[in-house]
Amino acid sequence: MNTIPMLTKLFPKTKNISEVAEILEKYSNFGINTNLRLAHFLAQVREEVGEEFKPISENLNYTEEGLKKTFKVFRDSPELAAKYGRKEKQEANQEMIANIAYANKLGNGDISSGDGYKYRGAGVLQITGKFNFEEVQRRIDRYAPTSNIDIVNSNDIHTLEGAILAGLAFWMWKDIYKAADMGTSDKDVDGVTKIINKHTNSYKDRREYFHKIKHLI
């Protein structure tokens, strides 16, 4: 497996390539077991976490106007956008933004439950929502029972190993390896992207990342 060469090419600013490679190798039973699958996976991860390979939580640092453009609930209730959005002399209240935007969606409870923020986008593939966290955790429990990673009841998804493992479990859950096995064309990369983030505007970027490491397959 050309794990380190691919990581070096796509994540030139990361200082933990060896650690990332070790984690990927440790959990190869999640379906990242060919160079073709690895290339598809890493191209997607590169778009989600950046060239430093720093798994981050969803950025909810929206301005008032940004909230209204992005979320229907804030368009319908502009006073909430004004109250919680970023503007001069006011930082965005990211916790409340998440709790409002994701309330009663994706298995989350209402605003007061705090689920929106707890289950905001996280991990190398930005898993979002309580339902998705729970489904991913089921795969972790099944295929990595000794990992001690718990993304539902703890903050493990915000650790490097937890972030990667959550992405691998999502890959397994959604059978993304089947789309990856289709090949190396732009259409094939788009097929993977469609499963991971159908409505993204980054299809072109993900294709470009894939082609950067295509020769290593």
Looking at the DSSP assignment, which residues form a beta bridge with residue 127?
Answer: 122
pLDDT band at 150 (very low <50, low <70, confident <90, very high): very high
Q: Where are the domains of the chain?
A: 3-56+121-216, 64-111
Mean pLDDT of 73-93: 95
Mean pLDDT of 66-87: 95
Mean pLDDT of 50-55: 86
Average pLDDT, the chain: 95
pLDDT band at 175 (very low <50, low <70, confident <90, very high): very high
pLDDT band at 81 (very low <50, low <70, confident <90, very high): very high
Looking at the DSSP assignment, which residues form a beta bridge with residue 87?
Answer: 90
Is the pLDDT reported for residue 55 higher than 90? no
Closest to 176 in 3D by CA, of 37, 34, 46, 48 = 37
The two tokens of residue 191 are 């097929």
The two tokens of residue 199 are 């409505």
Is the pLDDT reported for residue 47 higher than 80? yes
Mean pLDDT of 108-135: 96
Mean pLDDT of 4-11: 96
Mean pLDDT of 64-71: 94
Is the pLDDT reported for residue 59 higher than 80? yes
pLDDT score for 133: 98
**Residue type at position 192:** V
| Angstrom distance (rounded) from CA 14 to CA 30 | 23
Is the pLDDT reported for residue 180 higher than 90? yes
- Do 137 and 151 contact (CB within 8 A), yes or no? yes
- Do 166 and 125 contact (CB within 8 A), yes or no? yes
pTM across the whole model: 0.91
pLDDT score for 182: 96
How many separate helices (H) and strands (E) can be counted in the chain?
A: 13, 0
- DSSP label at residue 47: H
pLDDT score for 56: 76
pLDDT score for 161: 95
pLDDT band at 15 (very low <50, low <70, confident <90, very high): confident
